[in-house]
Amino acid sequence: MSDQNDASQAQAAARLQHIGNQLDGEQAFFNPNRLKFAAGMPRGRAVNNTPLNPLTFLLRSAYIRPQRIAMKHPAIGVEWTYAEWAMRVCALAYGLKKRGIKPGERVAVICPNAPMILDLIQALPAIHGVIVPMNIRLTKPEVNYILEHSGSVMVVVDHEFAHLADDFKGPVIVSKDSGGRDPSCQYEQLIDEGRHEADTVGWPGHTLIEDEESDYAICYTSGTTGRPKGVVTTYRGTYLAALSNAAESRIFTESNYLWILPAFHAIGWTFPFAITAASAGQVCLRSVGDYSPIWESITRDKISHYCGAPTVQIGICNHPQARKVPHDIRTMIAGAAPSAFLIKTLEKLNINVIHVYGLTETYGPITNCIQHPEWAVDLDEDEFYRRKAMQGHAFVGSDEARVIRPDSDPSKGYEDVTPNGKEVGEIVMRGNIVMKEYWKNPEATAEAFEGGWFHSGDLAVRMPYGMISIQDRSKDIIISGGENASSLSIESAIYQHPDVLECAVVARPHEKFGERAHSFIILRPHAQAKWAGKEDEFNVDLKAFVKPLLPGFARPEWVEVVPELPKTSTGKIQKHELRKRFSSIIPSQ
């Protein structure tokens, strides 16, 4: 870092002091560096109380590590330091304000993992706007529903998905994802509109929000059933979730995070703020359809962290470029329970797994599979990875999660299941990393918060050694001959077959047993030729393979080889789509 020119600094200071004096009532900072990066405090706060606000992480990083590369977009060869990025965000916030965005108003964002959404995640809280990130794989009617339900007043959309905003009656701003290079880009024009205020007044012109429990974002659930619900999160919750994620994943300033998990999914599990809290770097990646750019980025950008659902992780492991990474990577895996086999495969590549669990309603991850040092000594490799495939205990910023008896009394605070690895209950959570409410849906909120706990709808058993083993979403349980068979356990058994790349098990009506397991299988590339035209033989082979691994009622009755499985944009297998196959007999929901 070279010293700056004192004389020109003094001039700048004098000029900025003049501007600062004009800021009515706000605390102005006359040091040029401070003027740039210190947002105004809300008035009348106690000296010892500042509202928890995740935006402050960016401002702090810009101030203390101005020259650290904050964000890279390798696809178009652009990168920004923290100082540059913070000023870009500052200008964007002024631009939004000029276009009339007022505190509390919702702005919808439709964007892949490009800088635009990462900018807006920071810029909207600067003007107390509420971000509504949209899944880029939604259909136009779904987008229209969310735009209307959220009452969004503006849409900012990536050029590739511009058609999704066609029906919107309000202002639509299209980004060409040019990284500031294309002046004809509407998004860059929006930033340019705020540039003068950013350069002259800077961050002190933006005042931090007064109430830390204000709405920060509305994230619509990906909606495996019914209409999507808008999950309202707060500044306080986002702040504490981000610090928890930074602690659980051990992100530091030397870390580089690769955007594989969509940033629109629960605000990228609050990682935009875990990263800025640590003054780490982040690397954009527009598409994860092809895994080559991931493997290229891992080495080129010295990636130390990424998050991803199991299906994405399977794709990463099985890509031809997959090899042992020369440095340590930590990956958070969640979205569906990963198999022990997948965790083992990742760790053999030097990709260390932090197995977490959560929902959009819990800002993404809220529990972590706490690995004990004794495991390495006491357990054989199979049991070691079986434990790593379990949950889990709540993050440091949250209250502990519970597994409760579904029929127990809310007015008595519910009963926990017996920790015997057998009694199935529902996972419930509470505390600062639980959403505020469902937007405009007090009935759904009341139902989800029954008894003072958030009800995940996910079923689990508590192990005698304290861990939570997730069984299934309620509807994923297969009731076979009166026994509850966990589709996840069946899938875990099937995954051990050497020819299986991916599988999904759902309940299918059965005359005698009520329900029985139907398994959909994607074969590994090498096995596709082997079993081509021999589906019956594979059927026999697989059934024989899982027989010793599963009780009779849980064994798959049907085995079906398929070329692909229906997935949500976040990589979750859409079991309701698979169940539709059998919906002429029973309703799928």
Closer of 20 and 556 to a second copy (Cβ): 20
CB of 119 to a second copy, least distance (A): 22
Residues between 223 and 262 with contacts to a second copy, criterion CB under 8 A: 234, 236-237, 243, 246-247, 250, 252, 254
49 counts as binding a second copy under rule CB under 8 A: yes
569 counts as binding a second copy under rule CB under 8 A: no
Question: In this chain, which of 340, 394, 500, 527 binds a second copy, going by CB under 8 A?
Answer: 394
Q: Which stretch binds a second copy (CB under 8 A): 46-54, 114-122, 302-310, 548-556?
A: 46-54
The angle at the Cα of 246, spanning 244 to 247, to the nearest 5 degrees, equals: 65
66 counts as binding a second copy under rule CB under 8 A: yes
CB of 47 to a second copy, least distance (A): 5
Closer of 212 and 515 to a second copy (Cβ): 212
373 counts as binding a second copy under rule CB under 8 A: yes
Residues between 265 and 284 with contacts to a second copy, criterion CB under 8 A: 277-278
Written as one letter, the residue type at 139 is: T
370 counts as binding a second copy under rule CB under 8 A: yes
DSSP string, 391-421: B-EE-TTSPPPEEE-TTS-GGGT--BPPSSS
| Count of beta carbons in the 10 Å neighbourhood of residue 411 | 7
Of 140, 136, 170, 172, the residue nearest 156 (C-alpha): 172
Question: In this chain, which of 416, 541, 557, 577 binds a second copy, going by CB under 8 A?
Answer: 416
13 counts as binding a second copy under rule CB under 8 A: yes
Does the CA dihedral 12-15-17-22 come out positive or negative? negative
Residues between 494 and 523 with contacts to a second copy, criterion CB under 8 A: none
Closer of 305 and 567 to a second copy (Cβ): 305
Closer of 377 and 529 to a second copy (Cβ): 377
Q: Are 268 and 283 in contact (CB under 8 A)?
A: no
Contact residues for 398 (Cβ-Cβ < 8 A; gap 6+): 240, 244, 362, 366, 429, 431, 432, 433, 434
396 counts as binding a second copy under rule CB under 8 A: yes
56 counts as binding a second copy under rule CB under 8 A: yes
Question: In this chain, which of 290, 374, 443, 511 binds a second copy, going by CB under 8 A?
Answer: 374
15 counts as binding a second copy under rule CB under 8 A: no
65 counts as binding a second copy under rule CB under 8 A: yes
Of 485, 476, 500, the residue nearest 572 (C-alpha): 476
CB of 542 to a second copy, least distance (A): 31
9 counts as binding a second copy under rule CB under 8 A: yes
CB of 373 to a second copy, least distance (A): 8
CB of 352 to a second copy, least distance (A): 13
456 counts as binding a second copy under rule CB under 8 A: no
Contact residues for 544 (Cβ-Cβ < 8 A; gap 6+): none
| Per-residue mark of binding to a second copy, 283-322 (x: CB under 8 A) | ----------------------------------------
Binding-site size for a second copy (CB under 8 A) equals 81
Residues between 23 and 42 with contacts to a second copy, criterion CB under 8 A: 26-34, 38, 41
48 counts as binding a second copy under rule CB under 8 A: yes
Rounded to whole angstroms, the Cα distance separating 262 from 244 reads: 19
Q: Are 428 and 457 in contact (CB under 8 A)?
A: no
466 counts as binding a second copy under rule CB under 8 A: yes
Of 524, 474, 516, 471, the residue nearest 497 (C-alpha): 524
CB of 266 to a second copy, least distance (A): 15
CB of 63 to a second copy, least distance (A): 6
Pairing outcome for strands 500-510 and 305-308: unpaired
CB of 272 to a second copy, least distance (A): 15
Rounded to whole angstroms, the Cα distance separating 333 from 202 reads: 38
Rounded to whole angstroms, the Cα distance separating 553 from 559 reads: 15
Query: 3-class SS at 317?
Result: helix
CB of 252 to a second copy, least distance (A): 7
User: Which runs of E-coded beta strand occur in 159-288?
Assistant: 172-175, 215-220, 230-234, 256-258, 281-283
CB of 574 to a second copy, least distance (A): 28
Query: 3-class SS at 584?
Result: coil
Closer of 34 and 319 to a second copy (Cβ): 34
The full 3-state SS of 432-497, as one line of letters, equals: CCCCCEECCCHHHHHHHCHHHCEEEEEEEEECCCCCEEEEEEHHHEEEECCEEEEHHHHHHHHHCC
Question: In this chain, which of 142, 210, 347, 415 binds a second copy, going by CB under 8 A?
Answer: 415
Residues between 188 and 217 with contacts to a second copy, criterion CB under 8 A: 213
418 counts as binding a second copy under rule CB under 8 A: yes
Q: Which stretch binds a second copy (CB under 8 A): 19-27, 73-81, 305-313, 581-589?
A: 19-27
Question: In this chain, which of 434, 460, 507, 527 binds a second copy, going by CB under 8 A?
Answer: 434
Of 219, 250, 252, the residue nearest 237 (C-alpha): 219
Does the CA dihedral 462-465-467-471 come out positive or negative? negative
